[in-house]
Chains A and B, each alone.
Chain A
Amino acid sequence: MGSHSRKNLFSEKIDDWLIGFKDGADFLLLFFKETLSGNFEFKEFVNQCYRIGNSSLTLISLTGFVTGFVFTKQSRPSLESFGATSWLPSLVTIAIIRALAPLVTSLICAGKVGSSIGAELGSMKVTEQVDAMEVSAVNPIKFLVVTRVLATTITIPILSFYCALMAMIGVFLNVTTNEDTSLPAFLEQAFNSIIFLDMWTAVIKAVAYGFTIGIVGCYKGYNASNGTLGVGKAANSSVVLSMFLIFIEEVFIVQVTNWFR
């Protein structure tokens, strides 16, 4: 391949990226416009919240518990060498509340919920169900996109707190089997160093990740084309892009919140 054609390929990629960025920004604006324009599909929103919560609950229970248990177990030897095992509940709780619970929950939901939204909307698009909504004078953005994005934005923070709870049970189980600690004493040690900002950071992160998963899944699904191949691509790219954005947001939010500490 000559340098000229390689240059063309590169500029085409840049063009595609810029067009994709513009389409994404337009889609985001459309979402906000339709969200604020009234006639909210409340029943569909509740239905989506239930589907998202219900489908992820088992996996999040298990992952949260294992994360708390294993993280405590792995941290113990290092603290033991300093004779500081009493710091264990506090150390692990900070890690869970500030970072692990929102991140673990959102990564699970990106895989489970994001791919499902991408595939569902993608298949509706390629089988003309979205067109069928439009010709019957029903706004598909309002019915399909607004409800799903708001459902992920609200449900994922709730799941994130549930994940933190399950992780704390894992931590307590590990601590209580190794040391003779009562639940009130454990809770006091665990939440001693948690401040209001930590809780707010967790909420902000979970809301941002939830929104990202919803909007990316809807965008990819809504713009699917080329039949079943396009549906698969939409589901796959929903997961990849939302995970990528979640990591960027994680870095950004940590940086910003650290200024207030």
Chain B
Amino acid sequence: MNKVIEIEHLYKSFGDRKVLIDADLEVYEGENMVVLGRSGTGKSVLIKIIAGLLTADKGSVKVLGQEVTQLQKKELNELRLKIGFSFQNSALYDSMTVRENLEFPLVRNVRNMSRGEINKAVHKVLDSVSLLKSINQMPAELSGGQKKRIGIARTLIMNPKIMLYDEPTAGLDPITCIEINQLINEVKENYNTSSIIITHDLTCAKETGDRVAVLYEGNFKFQGTFDEVFKNPDPRIKNFYDYNFIENQKK
């Protein structure tokens, strides 16, 4: 299988705080890779480096065969059109309706599209996240789960090859979490995407991940399928697993 993302010896620090230390990760075509880790371990930093929002201190980040750290602005923007980024807080544009949010990347990146073609594309992605009825609503009128769905729809409108999900189930109720997990799997199936899913929710990891990588003290200490990783007797993994499920049971 082809590698779509290849990260080698990646380093990133903020001042004295070292976040990523010699991190290596590979994501294959058509796979959902879940990156697990506690808050503040650098999970979001990792995908922001992949999308070119942050620059790495050292190391190599190859996305679809292109070295992100060496791309010019124009080349980076061309690559970004193939990457969908779903933000933790959805990051919908407050001053625009759902329709305008979805049209925004499309009309600016795909020139000479007719009004009819734009409408068709908007309706298609809204239908795929089951929110066609919200087309004329403002983001402030949507629930947290609806915002996440619209955020995902906004990235799907560009038909990305890679999806980066930043904490897709954070702050949502358990039923909405299940719906978002299903949506992530549907996106993979219907749009043939490869994804990195950043989360600390083990249910999300189990439901959506083909493979799991655990980020601990700046690098990926454990990688494999969910069962392979969590059968590991290492106390760091066991603690993470126990804590997550005990916390879930409490909820």
Contact = CB atoms under 8 A, between A and B. Distances in A.
B49 to A, nearest CB: 12
B85 A135 contact: yes
Contacts of A136: 80-81, 85, 104-105, 108-109, 154-155, 158
Interface of A is mostly: helix
A161 B200 CA distance: 58
Contacts of A137: 77-78, 80-81, 105, 108-109
B45 interface: no
B53 A135 contact: yes
Contacts of A138: 104-105, 108-109
A134 interface: yes
Interface string A18-46: 00000000000000000000000000000
A132 interface: yes
A129 B53 CA distance: 12
Given A137-B80, A138-B105, A129 B94 contact: yes
Interface string B51-87: 1110000000000000000000000011011010101
Interface string B127-149: 00000000000000000000000
B160 to A, nearest CB: 10
B89 A127 contact: yes
A127 B85 CA distance: 14
Contacts of A128: 87-89, 91
Interface string B92-108: 11110000000011001
A123 interface: yes
A138 B87 CA distance: 16
B172 to A, nearest CB: 17
Given A127-B89, A129-B91, A129-B94, A135 B109 contact: no
B158 A131 contact: no
A123 B139 CA distance: 14
A131 B53 contact: yes
Contacts of A135: 51-53, 80, 83, 85
Contacts of A120: 95
A124 B158 CA distance: 22
Given A131-B85, A135-B51, 13 more contacts: A124-B93, A127-B89, A131-B53, A132-B92, A132-B93, A134-B52, A134-B53, A135-B83, A136-B85, A136-B104, A136-B108, A137-B105, A137-B108
15 contacts: A127-B89, A128-B89, A129-B91, A131-B48, A132-B87, A135-B51, A135-B53, A136-B80, A136-B109, A137-B80, A137-B81, A137-B105, A138-B104, A138-B105, A138-B109
